[in-house]
Each structure stands twice: as C-alpha cells, then as structure tokens.
Structure 1
Amino acid sequence: MSLKLDAIPGMTMPQVLRERARLHGSDLALREKVRGLWQRTTWADYYEQARLTAIGLYALGFRPGDRLAIASDDTPQWYFSDLAAQMLGGAGLGIYPTNPWPELQYIVRHSKARFVVAGDQEQTDKVLDAQANEGGLPDLQQLICVDMKGMRAYSREGLMGFDDLLALGREREAELGAEVDRLIDAGQPEDTAIIVYTSGTTGMPKGAMLSHRNMLSNACDIARIHGLDARSYSVLCYLPLCHVAERSFSLVQQIVTGCTVSFAESVDTVVPNLREIAPLGFLGVPRIWEKMQQSIDYRVQDTTPLQRRVFNFAIARGKQIARRRLANGGRFASGGDRVMFGLLWLVCLRALQKYLGLNRVRTAFCGGASISEEVLLFFWTLGVPVYQIYGMTECAGASHSQRPGATSLGTSGPLLGVFEQKLAEDGELLIRGEACFQGYLFNDEATEAAYADGWLHTGDIVQIEDGGELRVMDRKKDILITSGGKNITPSLIENALKDSPYIREAILLGDGRKFLSALLQIDLETTGKWAQANDVQYTTYRTLAENPKVRELIAGEVARVNDRFARVENIRKFEILRKELDHDDGELTATMKVRRKAIEAKFADEIQTIYGDAA
C-alpha cells in the first residue's frame, strides 16, 4: 500500500508525513553525520520528533496563524521545526545562516515571528543582537537553540535548548497530544505552510506565502514527470533550506516520494559527502555545477601526460555524443554512440563520475539562475543527466523542467502541468495555476503588482520553442539598451565570460552608452594556480587582480568571448574588480546573485575609468 500522487495535493504536509510514518515507519527517512558516523532516522521517528516539537511549541504558546523563524544550517531539527509549525496551523520561514543580524532583524520583525529556532551559538548571537539594537524584536517570545555548545554562561530567560523543547513535548504529551493531533487533522491544503523571503536584488526582501497545495502539487508534478519514487530518488540536503529550491526538492519532494534525505556536513563538504552516500538524485545551482567542473580540471592538471591525453580524447568524443543525445531528447542517437560511450565510460568517464560522487545519479537538476550551456554539456558528456529547471519562489520552486524527450541545450524544458502560461507583448513570461503563491506577507501592493491582470508576472523575457521548451533570455529589468538603440541580453555574454575558469563574476555595462564594457571578478583559486604555474607573485586577491600579467590573461579570455558575438555585442573595455564581491558588503544576495544597482554605485570610479565623460 502506498500514497497516490493524485491524492497528495489534497492534504497538508504534516498529514502526508503522518501517512508515511504509518505506511513505512521502519524505513530510513533521514541521515545526519555526527562525530564521523551517519545517524539514521526512520519515518516513524521523523514524525514523532516533529510531533513532540509541535507539542513543546504549543505548550510555549504557539497557536494557529503564528510564524516560526528558523536561522540554521541544514539539520533534521530544521525539518522538525518547519513541520511542527505547520502541524499547529502556523507557518515556518527560513533565514539564511549567512545573513548579518540587521537582515535577520528585518525578517523576524516584519514577519512578526514569536518563535525563533537558531542553529548554534553564532545564530543565537545574531538574534540577541537583533533584540538589543534598533528597536529590537518586539514580537519575539521564545528563542530555541539546537546546538547549545559554548552557551553555558548565557541567560536562560527567553532561551532554551532544542532538546529541552523535545523534553517539554514528552512531558506535556498526555495533556496536549490530542489537541495537536486535532490541529493536524484540521489542517487544510489552502493553509499557508511556508513563507519564503525573496533575496531582495531590488530592495528589501518580501515574504512570499506558499500553501500546502502550492508546494505539494508542484512536487507531485515533478515526481510524476521524472518518475521519482523511493527506489529511484535520494538526495543530499546542502543548499540553504530557507531557499524554496532546497525546501521543494528535499523536504517536500521527500514526503511526496518517500525517499531518503542525507544532510551534508557543510556546503564545503558536498563532494566528499556525495562520494560517501552516492545519491540517486541531486539538485545544484549553477555555481555548484561550475565548481564541480573546475575540480575535475584541477585534478587533470596534476595527472601524467598520458592520462591527460586520455581525458582530452574522452571529453572531445563524449561531447559529440552528448550533443546528439541532447538533441534526441536525452536518448542515445544511435547504437554506435551507445557503444562508444560505454568504452569511454570504462576508460575514463566512470572514474570522473565516482570522483564527484555522481556515479549513481539518475536524475539531476540545475536551477536558481542562468547557466552556461557548456557547463551542462560537460555533465551530459560524463553521462550525468542534468535537467535544467526554471522557476521562482512565487511558483513554489519550479514552473518548467527539462525531462526525457525534452532536453534541448539552453532551454529549461516545457511547462509543468499545474500551470498555464502566456507571453506579454514585450516577451515577459506570465503564469498562473494551483502552485502559484498566495501573495506577499503584509504587502498587498506588491501582491497586486505581481498578479496584474490575474497572471503572475515573472519579470523574465523568454522565448517558447517549437516543442514547447522555454528559453530564458534575461531579466526584464536587466536588458541593456545602448545609445544606438541596440537591445543587449547581458546574461548570454556574462555566462560566456564565466565559462572561463579565471572569471568568477561578470557584470555587463552599457545601458544608454555607446559601447559595452564589463566589471570582472577573477576566480582566486584558478587564477592563483595559473599565477603559481607562471611564476607570477601575489599575496592577496587584490595584488593578484592588479598584476599586469593577470590583466593580459583576462584580456585574452575577453577576446575569446568577443569572437563568439556580433561586433555590437563585443566588450570594448573592462575593469578587474580589486575586491571579491560579498554578501556582507551588500553586493550579492544571500543566494549569491549580483545586486547590479549596488555594484554600479559602489564601483562608480571603475565605471568612470571605463567611460570617462563619454555617453
């Protein structure tokens, strides 16, 4: 007996979790590495821990309609807290662990969250700083910390450990358990389940409210399209859970499919953890896929000449096969291609897959931002099927997905079945459907603007290919129009620049100007390796960025990119940034997206150097 996908969108997430525990109680649900050993949590334990958390929160005063903020790295307690809030008819919202206390303060205060779960001492200190400064957190009633290490001297007024919360749940279970069970039963699919604060590239973050139906219908559609179930899907949870993508593809997709989720020790140990658990599925943002490709490039440089020749031959032949395979919907275009790939896999590609921990992956996804076609082609060359997805917070994570039969390079696949779509006159994508969000918390004006004419305005300029696949051109607000009236799509040129192993970030300039230019951030690791190999001395990022030989290197990379584009799209001048872009300095969002306006203001001197007084 199993849960049917068609029935799940009519439930709440706690109700689905309860069914999983009833049907598959002894099966493995969660794994977390503690002191070097993987600790296992069954479905029965998973539900029981979330329920005890809910009872503890109810005893502390959490009631239907309340909101629980979670500031923590990914842990099982993140899941327990999120689902506990939902069990009580409330909503969970995440805060990036990298957010400084003023950003945490804004989100907790704006959401009027009365309860906060902090992951450790660092996150607890941010909450305490937010309480003590600039108006504090007037609605906060209880702070709960998962890892109390180093906090023995802290005042316990308004602060308790997560283990103490579970103990309170056990202590009050006989008294309050029936009421919590009643609240779980009373939950409705249209109830707000989670609130996701957008990354705020153009202003302060907005809290997008998503219902149980929004999240579950979206996850069910993806599971149906890709054939995901407990036998074919397992994942590593490592991206911040406050982002809708990780929440959707690990927590929600898990209860939908019944798969196993393993928690990475940290974002820095993703590849080692992948090698250990060898998951069947994997979600990566562009930067993760780019770093994986670069890690192979580094490794190859340290091999023997014979090994490098074998690698170069395998990749060159494999790319030809991969291009034909992608054009054929992900299937080998011929028996000859299948045989040749098998030989390349035995000789070289198998070892590369194992090195990355992707040797068992059946379904991988790439989303979150635009990515170079060359990066995706590389992983298909290795034999790792990476399907590009498109979506946004306001559509529960994904609205389009590549899939077997729809894998055209550079597209994000056809529309999911839970949506409708149309294009505005200027090419902006508009969507609507049962997975579209309920609106922005305490911001009716922004909600009305997002839902103009009854359609969700995505802000992206797109093309719909003949086969129905979506090709994203760029953000509507990012399109550049030169003084000559030429419309330029920045992301195409920026991604081409970032194909270079030596360029980490590229910001195209030229709106209202006579020519295009770029601000470039070099990649410290790869450029540093190049510098060592070429006897270029440096001590810091800045000394490396200011070195004339490095400028020559980057100029060559820019020239290579210019050869791929029309003359009007060529970069005439560039400046190498003398510092790395940083979230703490307001130059990047928490999801590492570039804040263009902030950068243009902060690096006005560099832009003046490029353009002078020229218009």
Structure 2
Amino acid sequence: MKVAAPQSTPAAGAHDHLIAALAANAAGHGKAIAMRERDRGIWQETNWQAYLEQVMAAAAGLESLGVAPEDKVLVVGDNRPALYFGMLGAITLRAVPSPAYPDFTPEQLLGQLQREGVRFAIAEDQEQVDKLVALREQYAGLEWIIYDDPRGLADHEPAGTIAFTELARRGRERLHAEPGLQAELQTRPRADDVAILLHSSGTTGAPKGIPLKHRHVLFAVRSAAQAGYFNPGETHMAYMPIAWVGDFIFSIAAALELRFSVNIPEKQETVQRDLREIAPTVYFTSPRAWSTMLTRVQVGIAESTPLKRWLYERFMPLAIEIERARLKGRQPGLGQRLLRALGELLVYGPIKDQLGLVRARHAYTAGEAIGEESFLFFRALGLPLRQFYGQTENSALCAAQGADTVKLHTVGKPFPGIEIKISDSGEILVRGGNVFDGYFDDLAATAEALQDGWLHTGDAGYLEDDGQLVVLGRVSEVVYTSARQRFIPTFIENQLKFSPYIKDICVLGDGREHLAALVAIDWEAVGHWAQEHGVAYTSFSDLSQQPGVYDLMAELFATVNARLPEGTRIRRFVNLHKEFDPDDGEVTRTRKLRRGVIAEHYADIIEAIYAGRDRIESVAQITYETGESGVLRRLLAIRDVPAAPKVNA
C-alpha cells in the first residue's frame, strides 16, 4: 500500500539555495530581528542585514585561509551565533560543514577528522580548541582552528588558531577592498551542493556520513510549511545539539526559508530560564525531554503550597479526561468547558508560562515513541503537541500528525510531495525530494539504503486504513526468543520508558527462553519518590538497589506486561548501579542503545539473570570526561516480575 501526497512541491532551480534565502531576507526584511543571543544576561540582537554581513565576512575570511569547494569544515561546540555564521560562510564557498557533538571524546573527533579529511575546524571555546590541538599529533591535516570564545586563548593562541572576530575582520577588509566580491559570493552556491554533512548515530559501528543538499532541506521545509507544520515568522529557541539534524533544519534551513527569529540561550544550564523569557511560538524536543519536563512539573507541584497542590489535583485530571475523550472523537460538555476555562486561568496557563510555552502554536515530538502520560498531559495543558516522523536521511521532515487527526500510537501522514509505503517485509519506505542521494564515501551502504528510488528507512511499521503511519521499531531489531516468539525490543522499551522513573532500559531475550531487562533509573524522579516515601540513600547506585525502588519497578513491569502478549513479557530485571553512558560507548549521543556494547559490558549480569540467580557482584568499567577509566563495583539484586494484573476489557 502506498500513500501519495495530495499536493506537490515546486522543484528547486539551480540558484535555489540557503544563501539566496538569506540574501532575500536581508533585502526584503533587513531590519527585522533574525537572531538573538543571551550574553551576560542581556539579549543581543542581530537583524537580517547584519546576519548576511556576518556570513559574507566569514566566507571571505575562510577563503583567505584556504577553504575551497568540497572542503570539510568540522564544527564543534554548543549553539553560538559565530558557529552558525561560520557554517553558512563555509556553505557560501561550497565547502561542507561537518558538525560534531561538543561532548565527543578525542577519539571520536579523531575518527571524524580522518574519515572526512578535515582541514579546517570551527570551535566554540578553549575546551574544544585544546582537544583539537592535541589531536594534531595524530592528525596533521588540520590546518586551521577558528574559535569563538576568547577566554583562555586571547594573546596566547596555539599555532594554527584564529579568533572568529579576527577572521571576520579580515573578511570585512577583503570585502571592502574587492567591491564586487560580496555579490559574487552569493551566486556561488548551487541547489545541488551539499549544504551539511551530518552523521548516523553509529549504533552498530562507525557513524556514516549523511550529506544533505540545499534542494533536500529546502524541499523538506517547504513541504512541511505547506502542511501547516510551521509558518513564516516563527520564534524558535536554538538549544538542540548542532550535530543533530533537527537543529540544522529548524535553526538554519527553516529559519532562513521562513524568516524565523532564532534565539540562543546563554548556556545549556540556562535553557529553561531563557526559554521562558523568549516564549517561542514553535517548539520541538524529544520524548525524553518532554518526560523530563513533566517530571519537573510534578516535583514542583509536590513541593508547592497546599492550595496550589489542591488546585492541581482538581483541575489536571479534568483536563486529561477531556483530552482523552477528544482523541476518541468526543467533545466536552458545557460544564466541562466552563471548568476547563477556569483551569486555564488557575492552573494550565501558569504552568505553560513557567515552562516558557505560553505562546507555543506548534509543539512537536519525534525520535522515538512518547509516553501516553506525557503526551496527554501536555495536550491537556492546551499545548497542540503532535508527533512527527523523520530521519537524517530524509531531512528530518517526512510525516506528521494533523491538528485534527491526532492519535496516541501514530506519527501521522506524509507531507506534500512525499510518499510512504510498506515493503513486503514490513519496512517503511520513503520517496520524495527530501531524501538524500547517498552516504558519504560508502557505496555499499548507499546501495542498501536507496533502491528503485525508495529510501529503505530500516524502520518497521504499518499504515492504518486512514493512511496514518505507525512505527514499531528498527527492522534490524526484530528478534526471536528460543521458542521463536517474535518481538522488537525498542517497542517494549518505549512502553516502559513512558514511566518517569526509568531513564534507560535494555530489553534482553534474543535466543533466550524469556525476556528480561537492564534498567537505569531516572535519578531525579526516583530520588523525589524516595524523598516522598522516606527512603534514605547516599548515591545513585545505593538508590537503585533500595527494596522500595525494586518494588516500584516491579509494579511498572507488571502493568506493562498486562498489555503484552504472553511470550513477550518481561520475567526478570536488574536495576543497574549506573546510567548507560555515551562515553562508555553504551549509548549514542542521542541516547540510542548500542546493544552489542551493552551485551559485552554487562555479560556477567545477563548470565546471572538467565541462570536464575538473585544477586551478583558486578564490576563495571567507566570512562571519565578526561578519557581516564575506572572501576565501579556493586552488589546488584535480580528480581522476578510478579504476574501481570488483569486488564479490564
């Protein structure tokens, strides 16, 4: 079965690219605010004309350093205007920005430098510069490092480094000396140029490079806008990692095409405060972040005054009941509508204001399944939260729930000009102008992913009768128990991660007689639970092993088991003494499980589970941010899951 989009999107011309969109904004809306950055508590504003001037100065400066077409430019750090200006400056020169996560280890950075032959890097601060300078001993190809924050670097720069301010100054001098250069620079890019080189999560090996061209990302943005996903002039908060496709699509591609006002927090630790001040009109974050936000609200209410708790406990269940009925097609009666209006004044509005989402017209979640509790809660508050589906390979924007067709278990229908079908093996296939042309320097992976014009997403799913897509998990993760019971670990894991008490979970059972699980508790949520229930603890590992916490987890497992077929229920579990850590290679930077690494690191625990033991002393290797390693020892309990309670029909 194939789902065809009802409308098409115009094809891109040769000069249809991101720099042309930036230049058009400067020409038609030059004095409008394009970007804000909070610096030392004060919001610094950049209008579209100044934005273009910064990018042109960066381009001219980069070219004077030797940046040429198709050069790869590493970009590493948190969201900063200079990093965005530098990326677009490289794009102007037809070079290719290649972002990396700021918490990458030196070894991960080295791999990216070597695989892509990187000659230039743009770094946020001294921490990133120090990592890159040290890597020159193993990789001599890195010629220049441009840095933004001068603290610790000013007046004693390592050789081959230059401040972004100095780079821009040189660029402006060059633009002044060559009057026609700025106009000429703006004509260089082509729609078919690679605009960004992003990377897969690397769950099964080295990350694959994913080049997205101007025509790919502009098609995706225009298609989503045509579907009402977002509108011109949105206010957006740029806080997602610049190495993630979501940031490039929202903070650069959509921002340039639709004239978003992009707002950059002072630092990651101030995101919540800055979010409240900005109050964005469009807000996108992961299910994990929505769940964390819900936990923060619940903890805040529990610690508030008796009156506030009373109001919350009276009005919040009402709003959730109304929203649950709406999703089933039932509209609230007059009495409920009047109480809902009063609740907006007393409870819902103040909570949205505290979260910084009081103006949000578009709110989205993607990346994995969102918990029913979180989804219903935020929609009950009055946020138009919807799920969407996309991958880096299809420019992140592929399908989304319509405003009036929201279901708890679907991700919606494809955007205009994008087609989705399900293969005979149950894999989701996508075709459209948003789909990339192939992996970087990997013909074998490209041939596997792109067949007969269709992108093989690697996701398993199905289409409902109304054309809405349901995503079950990764095709590669479809496994079988020893009794040949088929199951998808991620599907079950997502059911359990709906609980705020579970941060990560790895479901076991491939080739085994039954399913089991390794649990990493949520430190904040379980810590608050322990405080409320008088459970004393001294550390994460101590808290995870408290009998009351095991009882809490066992109850969650039993509840989820009641919704699962008999052969796919969790029988035993262990609360781990540490979180899964990207520095230990157990999860990716976007917190996708690396199952092979987990199976290796926790082999003794897994064997103890299936041997029927009730405890084990585990010895875990851990890696610190400095790159040094250590050992963590802990006696862990292994618990059976009680029989699932009966579910009322």
Deviation at residue 52 of structure 1 after TM alignment: 0.2
Which residue number in structure 2 is paired with residue 267 of structure 1?
268
Q: Do 1:8 and 1:256's aligned partners in 2 also have CA atoms closer than 8 Å?
A: no
Q: Deviations over 1:29-70 (max 9, x none)?
A: 100001110000000000100010000011111112222110
Deviation at residue 546 of structure 1 after TM alignment: 2.4
Where does 1:400-411 land on structure 2 (aligned, <5 Å)? 400-411=399-410
SS of 1:126's equivalent in the other structure is helix
Q: Do 1:459 and 1:475's aligned partners in 2 also have CA atoms closer than 8 Å?
A: yes
SS of 1:387's equivalent in the other structure is strand
Q: Do 2:384 and 2:403's aligned partners in 1 also have CA atoms closer than 8 Å?
A: no
1:209 has 2:211 as partner: yes
Moved more, 496-505 or 332-341: 332-341
Q: Do 2:459 and 2:473's aligned partners in 1 also have CA atoms closer than 8 Å?
A: yes
Deviation at residue 286 of structure 1 after TM alignment: 1.3
Q: What TM-score, normalized to structure 1?
A: 0.94
Separation in 2 of the partners of 1:8 and 1:502?
50
Gaps of 5+ in 1: none
Where does 1:3-152 land on structure 2 (aligned, <5 Å)? 11-132=16-137, 136-152=138-154
Separation in 2 of the partners of 1:176 and 1:332?
65
SS of 1:186's equivalent in the other structure is coil
Deviation at residue 305 of structure 1 after TM alignment: 4.1
Amino acid at match of 2:102: P
Separation in 1 of the partners of 2:491 and 2:511?
19
Separation in 1 of the partners of 2:289 and 2:531?
25
Amino acid at match of 1:452: Q
Which residue number in structure 1 is paired with residue 173 of structure 2?
171
Moved more, 493-502 or 571-580: 493-502
The structure-2 alpha-carbon separation of the partners of 1:431 and 1:227, relative to structure 1 and needing over 3 Å to count, comes to: closer
Which residue number in structure 2 is paired with residue 594 of structure 1?
593
Q: Do 2:462 and 2:469's aligned partners in 1 also have CA atoms closer than 8 Å?
A: yes
Q: Deviations over 1:272-299 (max 9, x none)?
A: 1111111111010111101110011101
SS of 2:46's equivalent in the other structure is strand
Separation in 1 of the partners of 2:333 and 2:266?
42
Q: Do 1:497 and 1:557's aligned partners in 2 also have CA atoms closer than 8 Å?
A: yes
How many residues are aligned here? 605
Moved more, 201-210 or 340-349: 340-349
SS of 2:180's equivalent in the other structure is helix
Q: Do 2:235 and 2:262's aligned partners in 1 also have CA atoms closer than 8 Å?
A: yes
Separation in 1 of the partners of 2:501 and 2:203?
25
Deviation at residue 549 of structure 1 after TM alignment: 3.0
The structure-2 alpha-carbon separation of the partners of 1:549 and 1:407, relative to structure 1 and needing over 3 Å to count, comes to: closer
SS of 2:318's equivalent in the other structure is helix
Identity of aligned residues (%): 36
SS of 2:414's equivalent in the other structure is coil
Deviation at residue 335 of structure 1 after TM alignment: 6.2
Q: Do 1:9 and 1:217's aligned partners in 2 also have CA atoms closer than 8 Å?
A: no
Separation in 1 of the partners of 2:604 and 2:399?
40
The structure-2 alpha-carbon separation of the partners of 1:434 and 1:7, relative to structure 1 and needing over 3 Å to count, comes to: closer
Deviation at residue 327 of structure 1 after TM alignment: 4.2
Gaps of 5+ in 2: 1-8, 614-649
Moved more, 82-91 or 535-544: 535-544
Which residue number in structure 1 is paired with residue 187 of structure 2?
185
Q: Do 1:87 and 1:180's aligned partners in 2 also have CA atoms closer than 8 Å?
A: no
Q: Do 2:521 and 2:544's aligned partners in 1 also have CA atoms closer than 8 Å?
A: yes
Q: Do 1:69 and 1:92's aligned partners in 2 also have CA atoms closer than 8 Å?
A: yes
Where does 1:562-581 land on structure 2 (aligned, <5 Å)? 562-581=561-580
Separation in 1 of the partners of 2:612 and 2:569?
20
Q: Do 1:248 and 1:396's aligned partners in 2 also have CA atoms closer than 8 Å?
A: yes
Separation in 1 of the partners of 2:402 and 2:251?
19
Which residue number in structure 2 is paired with residue 384 of structure 1?
383
Which residue number in structure 2 is paired with residue 433 of structure 1?
432
Separation in 1 of the partners of 2:229 and 2:497?
33
Separation in 2 of the partners of 1:196 and 1:146?
22
Deviation at residue 334 of structure 1 after TM alignment: 6.4
More helix by share: 1
Separation in 2 of the partners of 1:588 and 1:58?
38
Deviation at residue 6 of structure 1 after TM alignment: 8.0
- RMSD value, Cα: 2.1
Q: Do 2:389 and 2:397's aligned partners in 1 also have CA atoms closer than 8 Å?
A: yes
Separation in 2 of the partners of 1:316 and 1:35?
41
The structure-2 alpha-carbon separation of the partners of 1:109 and 1:503, relative to structure 1 and needing over 3 Å to count, comes to: same
Q: Which of 229, 232, 250 is the matching residue for 2:231?
A: 229
Amino acid at match of 2:16: M
Deviation at residue 10 of structure 1 after TM alignment: 6.0
1:483 has 2:519 as partner: no
Separation in 2 of the partners of 1:584 and 1:242?
17
